[in-house]
Amino acid sequence: MHRVHQFRQQIKKSTPDRSAPYQVKVQAVDTAREQLLFDDSSKESPIRYPFTSANSWIRVMPSAGSRAVVAYSQISKRLELIGYEMPQAETLISKYQARQGLYRELKEGEAEIMSSGAASSFWGSYPVRTDRAGVVSTKHDGLKLEYAVRAPTLVWRGVRNRPDVIGHEMRVGTVKRATSPNKEAYALKIGSLPEAGNFIYANEYMLALNADVTDAPLIDIRSGDVFDDSLSPGYPMATPLTGVNSLPLRHRAKYFVTIEPGTIGVPLTSTDLEIDNLGNVALTLSKLSIIGLAVKVPLGKVLLACGLDMTLDAKLGIVLTSLGKIQIKGTTGVEIATPASVTISGDAGVSIKTSASASIQSTGPTSIEATGPVTVSGKMGVSLKGAAGGAGLRPINTLPIDPVTGIVTWTDATVMA
């Protein structure tokens, strides 16, 4: 404003009576009143925009040094702005072609808007539109049928997002975290030397959604280089998050617990899925997931294979049910151990087969009972042992009465040798 006032003191009171358009140079711009002062002796002239109204407009504020074409109006008794000229157009276009400037050659039907801060929008003569602000750009490509964004970090923020708190947002690209409501810090990885100008940035995909009214966290999914809400130690390098295996994470998904209806959050309670940098997977259900984990395959099959041990640990019990046969195979053996009793039952029969010896050992009484006949068969013989020793090679007497003495020797006629 001071510059405008000084120039007004310098211009003459008289205005040339010229009706033919002529070129002038913008000497000063009164942005508060939207008036231009030129380098001739004319009075000030209002800025003319492509379109303005009380509720809509297309405006570009001229800058000092711009070339304008004006003509004096005998009716309004003032200088009227007709348009603007770019006398250095050829030079600027040549610089653009040499990748040294931003003033491009426009083909017929094309349009471009550029601000003094190098923020631009280009509308091509074919179905392509680009918007750019420094290194950040977007492109609507009707030929490739795609919408592209190029930026170090792509951020979507919901209406309840706060710049200093993670939530109500999605991020793709360079990892950065807020250090205050208006400051951010980037996560630099091991190997960075900021003093030497060497920066190795971390990259992530993050989706953090919160409830609308209660602000309770709903989901927090982070993939790529996984970092916490705040960087530690932060400078010159930041430490990534580690999982249950104490390894840096490649993916972490938290599904938070809420009490419904009302979406009331339960602090520090979630079902977590982790994948670390070596590919190990850890799934931890929340303490409130009393129904548990369900895996259902209506028509297909389930294959579980591992190179080392597999452990199934259930506090109440394990039930294996199949319409077909259930097989348990162990190359080096199968062991069933329990501090309680073991029951093996088969409605259609029980068969124990072995190509080697078989042994049943018990420290207490052992009973074999059957509602039908019991057969004990040994190809190499049968040995019975009691407290007094074994029967040896003596035959088992199954005769009810001794034929010589007439004494009863066997009272159970159902036992046959």
Note whether residue 101 is domain-resident: yes
Note whether residue 144 is domain-resident: yes
Least trusted range by pLDDT, from 231-235, 246-250, 398-402? 398-402
Domain boundary at 58, 85, 112, which? 85
Least trusted range by pLDDT, from 41-45, 170-174, 267-271? 41-45
Hey, what are 318's tokens? 């394990």
Note whether residue 382 is domain-resident: no
Residue 260 makes CB contacts below 8 A (sequence gap 6+) with none
Residue 289, SS3 per DSSP = coil
Least trusted range by pLDDT, from 14-18, 29-33, 125-129? 14-18
Note whether residue 228 is domain-resident: yes
Residue 315 makes CB contacts below 8 A (sequence gap 6+) with none
Q: What's the pLDDT tens digit per position in 289-308?
A: 999 999 999 999 999 999 99
Q: What's the pLDDT tens digit per position in 151-181?
A: 999 999 999 999 999 999 999 999 999 999 8
208 and 133 within one domain: no
Separation of first and last alpha carbons in the chain:
126
Give the pLDDT of residue 11: 46
Report the candidate in 243, 208, 245, 214 with the shortest Cα–Cα distance to residue 226.
243
Note whether residue 371 is domain-resident: no
Q: How many CA atoms lie within 13 A of 189 on its CB side?
A: 13
Residue 6, SS3 per DSSP = helix
Higher pLDDT, 388 or 146: 146
Higher pLDDT, 401 or 45: 45
49 and 127 within one domain: no
269 and 162 within one domain: yes
Q: Per-residue confidence at 378, pLDDT binned at 50, 70, 90?
A: confident
Domain boundary at 284, 300, 330, which? 284
Q: How many helices (H) and strands (E) does the chain have?
A: 2, 23
Cβ proximity of 205 and 171 under 8 Å: yes
Hey, what are 227's tokens? 């970092």
Note whether residue 135 is domain-resident: yes
135 and 229 within one domain: no
195 and 272 within one domain: yes
Note whether residue 43 is domain-resident: yes
Report the candidate in 171, 228, 230, 237 with the shortest Cα–Cα distance to residue 203.
171
177 and 222 within one domain: yes
67 and 22 within one domain: yes
C-alpha distance from residue 319 to each of 168, 306, 309, 312, 326 (Å): 43, 21, 20, 11, 12
Q: What is the phi/psi pair of residue 219, to 5°? A: -140, 150
Beta bridge partners of 29: 36
The CA distance from 286 to 259, in Å, is 13
37 and 96 within one domain: no
278 and 160 within one domain: yes
Residue 17 has pLDDT above 60, yes or no: no
Domain boundary at 150, 177, 198, which? 150
Note whether residue 159 is domain-resident: yes
100 and 81 within one domain: no
Q: How confident is the prediction for the chain on average, in pLDDT?
A: 88
The whole domain housing 142 covers 89-150
Residue 160 makes CB contacts below 8 A (sequence gap 6+) with 167, 168, 210, 212, 215
236 and 119 within one domain: no
The CA distance from 37 to 274, in Å, is 66
State whether the Cα torsion 160-161-162-165 is positive or negative: positive
What is the total count of domains within the chain?
3
Least trusted range by pLDDT, from 35-39, 200-204, 233-237, 300-304? 233-237
234 and 127 within one domain: no
Q: What's the pLDDT tens digit per position in 94-112?
A: 999 999 999 999 999 999 9
